[in-house]
Amino acid sequence: MMKLLAALVALAALAFVPAFAGPYPLGLGIGILGYGVLATAWAMFSGPTRYISLATVAFFGLGAYTVAVLADVLPYPLVLLVAALVGLVVALIVGLATLRLAGIYFVIFTFGLTELVRQLVTYYEVNVTRTLGRYVFLPIGPEHIYWQLLALLAATLAIAFWVSRSRIGLALRVIGDDPDVASHLGVRITRTKLTLFSISCVIMTLAGAIQAPRWTYIEPSIVFNPTTSFLVVIMALLGGPNRLFGPLLGAIPLFLLFEWLSANFPNHYSIILGLLFIAIVFVLPNGVLAAGDSLWSRLTRKAVRP
């Protein structure tokens, strides 16, 4: 109960940030919230199942494109609803077709999916509408985007919390540990995976839809940028994908670090970034939170948590 209260207080406090933050801090806030939502949504499915998905930006881009296509036709809340539906439908189709894949095959498929979606959108735009770029002129300022992302993050964390406590979350962890055991235990593997995959994908789609008005101009190479998928994975891994606040705590420092690096080392950014990724995988394979825990228990001479 206390925890819930604290969370609500924190949420309310964050909602007042646009009132006194300048445009640049607000931009940082939008970036952090955006990646926080994506990393948390990614970890919701990929954390317990250990299915590394590189399809994040496919759904993110679909959301942005839905807004670009429908912004002039429908009122904004309806556009968001349609975006969520589009994300859900694609997630179900993709999930049914691929969640029987495992390991490296799933990784490759999801990476290919991003390219597939991007090429399909391009094909449609080139051959049907004969325009590639689309304009989003919506009267939505940075502070509105910030509030929407904050609400989405709160909802995502709530869902992630519920999943971790529920039967479906437990089932997912069993699948991640050993799919054979899970099936012998009577876990409906495909249905469980599909449910979580869909929830996670819908959230990603909404994240893209909400951020679209910030860019004015949208084309496939802008919204289907594969780097986003990689960044989300590395953020979630840094924080620890199996903890509620892990992905968020990975997204915040990494995002600020990228910002600092690109401001101070614009010419060496990629090199430093590459070294950093290697370091994260080698030094902190289970994430910062897990490393912090094991350090704490070593300091207090307690047994390391299993």
Instruction: Tell me which residues touch other proteins (CB under 8 A).
Output: 22-24, 27-28, 31, 34, 119, 122-123, 125-127, 130-133, 135, 137, 211, 214-217, 219, 221-222, 225, 227, 259, 262-263, 266-267, 269-270
Residue 99 or 231 with smaller CB distance to other proteins: 231
Count Cβ atoms within 10 A of the Cβ of residue 224 and give its class: 0-12 exposed, 13-18 middle, 19 or more buried: buried
Minimum distance from residue 56 beta carbon to other proteins (Å): 14
Short-list 22, 14, 196, 245, CA closest to 92: 196
Cα distance between residue 214 and residue 243, in whole Å: 31
Minimum gap (Å) between residue 139 Cβ and other proteins:
11
Contact 199, 92 (CB under 8 A): no
Which CB sits closer to other proteins, 22 or 186? 22
Q: What is the 3-state secondary structure (H, E, C) of 108-164?
A: HHHHHHHHHHHHHHHHHHHHHHCCCCEECCCCCCHHHHHHHHHHHHHHHHHHHHHHH
| Cβ closest to other proteins, residue 125 vs residue 288 | 125
CA distance 207 to 214: 12
Angle between helical axes of 76-98 and 189-211 (0-180°, round to 10): 150
Between 66 and 198, name the residue whose CB sits nearer to other proteins: 66
Output phi, psi for 218, to 5 deg: -130, 130
Choose between 164 and 228: whose C-beta lies nearer to other proteins. 228
- Report the nearest approach of other proteins to the CB of residue 227 (Å): 7
Q: Smallest gap, in angstroms, from Cβ of residue 21 to other proteins?
A: 10
Nearest distance, CB of residue 298 and other proteins, angstroms: 25
In the numeric block, which tokens belong to residue 202?
Answer: 């819908």
Q: Which is nearer to other proteins, 28 or 291 (CB)?
A: 28
Place of tokens 């995502």: 156
Rank residues 80 and 125 by Cβ distance to other proteins and give the closer one: 125
Token couple for 280: 């994260």
Name the β-bridge partners of 135: 217
Query: From the CB of 73, what's the least distance to other proteins, in Å?
Result: 19
Q: How far is the CB of 279 from other proteins (least distance, A)?
A: 20
Which position has the token pair 């307690």?
Answer: 302
Q: Are 226 and 57 in contact (CB under 8 A)?
A: yes
Handedness of CA 249, 255, 256, 261 (dihedral sign): positive
Cα gap 81→88, rounded to integer Å: 11
Minimal distance, residue 273 CB to other proteins, in Å = 9
Cβ distance to other proteins smaller for residue 190 or 225: 225
